[in-house]
């Protein structure tokens, strides 16, 4: 390659849509890929469909709750359900997941109660679940930070000497297209590569980082970055739950057996606003949204189920009813969430006694009590 060819017209990330692994077309047709065989029974497919529908419903409910002032903020996953359910269901119990703040579908796969997610966005706490219990780390708001934690965690797994044995677990780190610009993410690629860490980097390229299009982060397709760091990168149709499942499964298995890191770029689209405080009409064209609507991740699974006579109207109704039930209960539980006690802000800050904090806590307790005295 000459310098000129490098400098020439950039391989713009949007123009090129090469080597997109797809196992299910937008029309619901199953296609085979030589490297990613996937053997799913009807029951499995129905299970994935159920996951997709339920997480979309939960997400919609959370958006509604935010509009009604019950949550301070919500980062919607609308449009990204397949990327999250596919990759989330690819992970096994021993694997460890490091999410951003938008991985509600992955959280669902890891059995994290949706109410816990809502609690964080409501301002009840900054986390709320036990990452060890679920193999699902805390949400990370600072863009890219978690990719380094994930890499270090994977290095720990490697050091335990379990790779290649049945008890080996891989690590999977989630992040967005915007995050790929951060130093931390690039540093995590370096560490993962030179230490051959058992990790899968799962980038949901939803095309936008708030108002900034992918072209503001990269001039080459993101999956191609991996090569420069020395490990494989692969682009998958992020709206195809089968492809996300198959590709992530293989990447995780490679990690577990000591074959090192993989970058999976799930090519998808953020159908909603970045968060409930964002206004995408300021920067995004309606036509783009319309085009992506046709690639809806749920509709294509539905079409596949119908085509193959794997589900009838009764099944779809049942899933619908279940989703409604779950969200109704979720809403009620959310509204019933009590505010934390003011003094709880002093809890869990340190593992050992900390005299200054104890002093402040006691003073603040006395101060709060003085109001109760006055009220008497």
Partner 1 sequence: MSTLTLGKALNTGLRKAMENDPKVLVMGEDVGKLGGVFRITDGLQKDFGEERVIDTPLAESGIVGTAIGLALRGYRPVVEIQFDGFVFPAADQIITQLAKMRMRSLGALELPVVVRIPCGGGIGAVEHHSESPEAYFTHTAGLRVVACSNPLDAYSMIQQSIASPDPVVFFEPKRRYWDKAEVDTDADPADWTPLHRAAVVRPGEHATLLAYGPAVKTCLEAAGAAAEEGRELEVIDLRSLNPLDIGTVTDSVNRTGRCVVVHEAPVFNGYGAELAARITEKCFYRLESPVLRVGGFSTPYPPSRIEDHYLPDLDRILDAVDRTFAW
Ligand X SMILES: Cc1ncc(C[n+]2csc(CCOP(=O)(O)OP(=O)(O)O)c2C)c(N)n1
Among 12, 68, 167, 211, binds partner 1 (CB under 8 A): 211
Report, in Å, the least distance between residue 279 CB and partner 1. 8
Q: Is 120 in the site for partner 1 (CB under 8 A)?
A: yes
Alpha-carbon span 148 to 137, nearest angstrom: 13
Angle between helices 114-122 and 42-67 (to 10 degrees): 20
Phi then psi for residue 222, to 5 deg, are -60, -35
Q: Which H or E run includes 156? A: helix 145-159
Tell me the β-bridge partners of 203.
175, 265
Alpha-carbon span 181 to 176, nearest angstrom: 10
Alpha-carbon span 199 to 228, nearest angstrom: 17
Among 56, 57, 102, 122, binds ligand X (CB under 6 A): 102
E-strand stretches of 9-150: 20-21, 96-98
Alpha-carbon span 298 to 190, nearest angstrom: 36
Report, in Å, the least distance between residue 359 CB and partner 1. 9
String of contacts with ligand X for each residue 254-273, x by CB under 6 A: ----------------x---
Among 91, 209, 226, 298, binds ligand X (CB under 6 A): 209
Q: Is 206 in the site for ligand X (CB under 6 A)?
A: yes
Q: Is 143 in the site for ligand X (CB under 6 A)?
A: yes
Report, in Å, the least distance between residue 351 CB and partner 1. 14
Q: Which residue from 220, 198, 210 is spatially nearest to 265, judged by alpha carbons? A: 220
Cβ atoms of 264 and 87 closer than 8 Å:
yes
Among 16, 64, 210, 306, binds ligand X (CB under 6 A): 210
> Within 164-183, which residues bind ligand X (CB under 6 A)?
175-179
Quickly count: other Cβ atoms within 10 Å of residue 102's Cβ.
24
Tell me the β-bridge partners of 172.
97, 200
Q: Which partner in ligand X, partner 1, none is near 249 (CB below 5 to 8 A by kind)? A: none
Report, in Å, the least distance between residue 138 CB and partner 1. 10
Q: Which H or E run includes 198? A: none
Q: Is 73 in the site for partner 1 (CB under 8 A)?
A: yes
Active site residue 270: yes
Among 15, 31, 42, 141, binds ligand X (CB under 6 A): 141
Report, in Å, the least distance between residue 276 CB and partner 1. 11
Alpha-carbon span 12 to 153, nearest angstrom: 34
Interaction site with partner 1 (CB under 8 A)? 72-73, 101, 120-126, 141-143, 178-179, 181-184, 209-212, 216-217, 277-279, 282-283, 339-342, 344-346, 349, 354, 356-357, 360-361, 364, 367-368, 371
Question: Which residues sit at the interface with ligand X, rule CB under 6 A?
Answer: 102, 141-143, 175-179, 204, 206, 208-210, 270, 274
Active site residues: 270, 274, 283
């Amino acid at each position: 390659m000459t310098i000129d060819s490098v400098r020439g017209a950039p391989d713009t990330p949007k123009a090129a849509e090469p080597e997109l692994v797809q196992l299910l077309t937008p029309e619901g047709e199953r296609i085979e890929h030589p490297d990613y065989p996937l053997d799913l029974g009807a029951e499995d497919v129905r299970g994935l469909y159920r996951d997709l529908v339920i997480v979309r419903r939960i997400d919609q409910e959370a958006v509604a709750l935010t509009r009604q002032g019950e949550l301070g903020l919500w980062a919607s996953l609308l449009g990204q359900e397949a990327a999250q359910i596919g990759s989330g269901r690819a992970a096994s119990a021993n694997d460890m997941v490091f999410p951003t703040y938008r991985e509600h579908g992955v959280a669902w796969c890891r059995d994290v109660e949706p109410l816990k997610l809502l609690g964080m966005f409501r301002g009840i706490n900054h986390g709320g679940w036990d990452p060890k219990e679920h193999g699902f780390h805390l949400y990370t708001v600072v863009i890219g930070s978690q990719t380094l934690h994930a890499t270090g965690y994977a290095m720990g797994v490697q050091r335990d000497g379990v790779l290649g044995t049945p008890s080996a677990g891989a690590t999977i780190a989630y992040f967005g297209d915007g995050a790929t610009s951060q130093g931390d993410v690039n540093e995590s690629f370096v560490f993962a590569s030179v230490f051959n860490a058992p990790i899968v980097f799962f980038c949901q390229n939803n095309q936008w980082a708030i108002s900034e299009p992918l072209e503001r982060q990269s001039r080459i397709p993101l999956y191609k970055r991996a090569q420069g760091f020395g490990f494989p990168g692969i682009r998958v149709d992020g709206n195809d739950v089968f492809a996300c499942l198959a590709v992530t499964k293989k990447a995780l298995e490679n990690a577990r057996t000591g074959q090192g890191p993989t970058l999976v770029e799930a090519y998808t689209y953020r159908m909603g606003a970045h968060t409930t405080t964002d206004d995408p009409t300021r920067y995004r064209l309606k036509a783009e949204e319309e085009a992506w609507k046709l690639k809806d991740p749920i509709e294509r699974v539905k079409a596949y189920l119908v085509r193959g006579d794997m589900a009838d109207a009764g099944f779809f109704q049942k899933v619908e009813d279940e989703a409604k039930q779950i969200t109704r209960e979720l809403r009620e539980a959310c509204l019933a969430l009590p505010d934390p006690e003011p003094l709880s802000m002093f809890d869990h800050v340190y593992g050992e006694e900390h005299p200054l904090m104890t002093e402040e806590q006691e003073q603040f307790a006395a101060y709060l009590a003085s109001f109760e005295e006055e009220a008497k």
